[in-house]
Structure 1
């Protein structure tokens, strides 16, 4: 399936790379958030997906992941790429995932905003969701292309992918009022609280006007969050507390939400370098919000 690319991007020309890489022109490998290999080996879930969904022989899976990951690292040196966090398939880890999967299997439409390689879209398809009901969006078109390379499904996946900016006035205009479920993986924490409020207003345009529409995701969090903090990369990331994620949806002027969240250890099954470069008080927040 071809990418619908409103803003084409390549490794050398992406307008977003410099912004989100803090001006880096070369991705370093001597940093705590890059590891050359998986120190604990490949976790069971990605092994099953690459073997049974992508049909990659056992003996080739790990080297294949390393090759594609290193291509992505040279584009944007995100920690989620450097320490293989994309192999967590983070939507699966959210408590609301079983409901999401059932609803998409029954015909509802799912959008992954900031989808990177589209790994969560592949997990839903692997779990039996119809891939034509799945949509991915990212500002980096090359990540979307690398997703096809990573999962080897260009000729079989029927999902649609777009390269667009959530802050654009016409963001996904053709999908206004047609989406039932939206996933935000490692997305909201990139923006200040005021910008996040604008993101929520954009999500409102996309969601169907019915009770039970879902927004869920994960991002950086803290018990005493609610502020932008500079991390080791020099990025300002917003750390949500349980109170501030409720506040974000409480301030939505278009409707009312039921919001739940949990704070869990910042980590990943596939890596073990620790998290001191983020700060020992940094956690990961899973959240889910349902329209009332």
Structure 2
């Protein structure tokens, strides 16, 4: 049960740690049966708070009052961070839009937290690759102050730059912020590393390459910091050469915040 962040227990309306663990295992199994190739499911990370534990989150609190912000979260998985911000940080549900490409993830999140009646309007099935992505977001939120993408960028290598550009366009009128984490590699290289995990395309950014990406679309200031390395997860990785394959096996979480 070490995988569970104690701070998520209050989100389960009186359930004990053991009960939350059993419920989480049940949901995990249902997700794995759908063959989701995501470490957040395999590693039981979906019961850990991500956004508020991001070391760069303090920048947001210094810049804006969360209770007054309109927030877009992309790639929510089961939706732990959205629920945490609404129930423990005072973010208004009508100002929080949570999207994921998988309706199964969203439905399993409702099953996990048993809150579909109260939270259903916060969630939507949408892909960042959809032509109407920006228009859809604008139709749901009166403005966008913060965009959150935790462990998303590395799984969309083909759409990554276009997505970051759309995020900037949504944030720039309101001098907003883009915060999240991606898989990174702690090297001085100026270009990212491309690889596959179980035949799914992935990209691993360095701090330099991620900063260049954000600045190329207009972000004015970017900060990054490396977090813990994956203890497992080297299996199923193939890269363009053996040298790169060994490098990406030592990948780590790369936290970022970019200011429009």
TM-score bracket, normalised by the shorter chain, equals 0.7 to 0.9
Aligned to 1:156: 118
Measured in 1, the distance between the counterparts of 2:61 and 2:109 equals 21
Aligned 1:170-185 pairs, distance under 5 A: 170-176=132-138, 178-185=143-150
- Residue 156 of structure 2 is aligned to residue 191 of structure 1: yes
Give the secondary structure class of the aligned counterpart of 1:57: coil
Measured in 2, the distance between the counterparts of 1:208 and 1:171 equals 16
**Equivalent residue pairs, number:** 240
CA-CA distance at 1:208 after TM superposition: 5.3
Does the Cα contact within 8 Å between 1:101 and 1:124 map onto a contact in 2? no
Structure 2 residue corresponding to 1:119, chosen from 67, 80, 88: 80
Aligned to 2:52: 92
Structure 2 residue corresponding to 1:61, chosen from 20, 28, 39: 20
Query: What value does the CA root-mean-square deviation take over the aligned residues?
Result: 2.4
Measured in 1, the distance between the counterparts of 2:32 and 2:65 equals 32
* Structure 1 portions without partners, runs of 5+: 1-37, 268-272
Aligned 1:165-244 pairs, distance under 5 A: 165-176=127-138, 178-192=143-157, 195-207=159-171, 209-211=173-175, 213-224=176-187, 226-244=191-209
Q: Which has the higher helix share?
A: 2
CA-CA distance at 1:189 after TM superposition: 0.8
- Where relative contact order (Cα < 8 A, 6+ residues apart) is larger, the structure is 1
Measured in 2, the distance between the counterparts of 1:215 and 1:42 equals 27
For residues 148-195 of structure 1, give each alpha carbon's deviation from its aligned partner in whole angstroms, at most 9, with x where no partner exists: 111122233375211112122211414337111001111111233x63
